[in-house]
Amino acid sequence: MERAVPPTVPLGQMEVFQALQRLHMTIFSQCFSPCGKFLAAGNNYGQIAIFRHSLPSACSLSAALSSEAKEESKKPIVTFQAHDGPVYSMVSTDRHLFSAGDGEVKAWLWAEILKKGCKELWCRQPPYRTSLEVPEINALLLVPKENSLILAGGDCQLHTMDLETGTFTRALRGHTDYIHCLALRDRNPEVLSGGEDGTVRLWDLRMAKEVQTIEVYKHEECSRPHNGRWIGCLATDSDWMVCGGGPALTLWHLRSSTPTTIFPMWAPQKHVTFYQDLILSAGQGPCVNQWQLSGELKAQVPGSSPGLLSLSLNQQPAAPECKVLTAAGNSCRVDVFTNLGYRAFSLSF
> What tens digit of pLDDT does each residue of 161-182 get?
999 999 999 999 999 999 999 9
The verdict on residue 234 lying in a domain is yes
Tell me what the pLDDT averaged over the chain comes to: 89
| Residues 188-236 pLDDT 10s | 889 999 999 999 999 999 999 999 999 999 999 999 999 999 999 999 9
Half-sphere exposure of 113 (CA within 13 A, CB side): 30
Q: What is the CA radius of gyration of the chain?
A: 20
Mean pLDDT of all residues in 247-275: 96
Residue 67 is predicted with a pLDDT of 45
CATH number for the domain harbouring residue 135 = 2.130.10.10
The contacts found for 155-161 with CB under 8 angstroms, 24 or more apart, are 155/126, 155/128, 155/129, 156/195, 157/126, 158/182, 158/191, 158/193, 158/203, 159/126, 159/127, 160/205, 161/105, 161/124, 161/126
Cα distance between residue 274 and residue 346, in whole Å: 23
| φ and ψ at residue 218, rounded to 5 degrees | -85, -10
The verdict on residue 229 lying in a domain is yes
Taking CA 237 as the corner, what is the angle to CA 248 and CA 149, rounded to the nearest 5 degrees? 100
What is the percentage of the chain residues whose pLDDT exceeds 70?
89
**Domain tally for the chain?**
1
The verdict on residue 145 lying in a domain is yes
> For residues 213 and 201, is the Cβ–Cβ distance under 8 A?
yes
The verdict on residue 213 lying in a domain is yes
Mean pLDDT of all residues in 239-264: 97
> For residues 40 and 345, is the Cβ–Cβ distance under 8 A?
no
The verdict on residue 122 lying in a domain is no
Residue 55, CA distances (Å) to 5, 35, 65, 121, 218 in order = 35, 11, 10, 28, 44
- The 10 Å Cβ neighbour count of residue 213 is 12
The verdict on residue 164 lying in a domain is yes
| Residues 262-287 pLDDT 10s | 999 999 999 999 999 999 999 999 99
Cα distance between residue 161 and residue 22, in whole Å: 34
Band (pLDDT 50/70/90 cuts) for residue 59 is very low
Residue 133 is predicted with a pLDDT of 75
Residue 180, CA distances (Å) to 16, 131, 208, 270, 290 in order = 34, 22, 20, 9, 22
List beta partners, residue 212.
Answer: 202
What is the H or E stretch that residue 110 is in? Answer: helix 110-113
The verdict on residue 109 lying in a domain is no
Classify residue 330 by its DSSP letter.
S
SS3 202: strand
Q: What range does the domain containing 255 cover?
A: 127-262
What is the percentage of the chain residues whose pLDDT exceeds 90?
76
List the one residue out of 83, 67, 75 whose CA is nearest residue 3.
Answer: 83
- DSSP letters, 137-178, are EEEEEEEGGGTEEEEEETTSEEEEEETTT--EEEEEE--SS-
List beta partners, residue 204.
Answer: 190, 209
The verdict on residue 299 lying in a domain is no
What is the H or E stretch that residue 331 is in? Answer: none
In the chain, how long is the greatest CA-to-CA distance?
A: 64
How many separate helices (H) and strands (E) can be counted in the chain?
A: 3, 28
List the one residue out of 31, 4, 36, 192 whose CA is nearest residue 107.
Answer: 31
Alpha-carbon 223 to chain mean position = 25
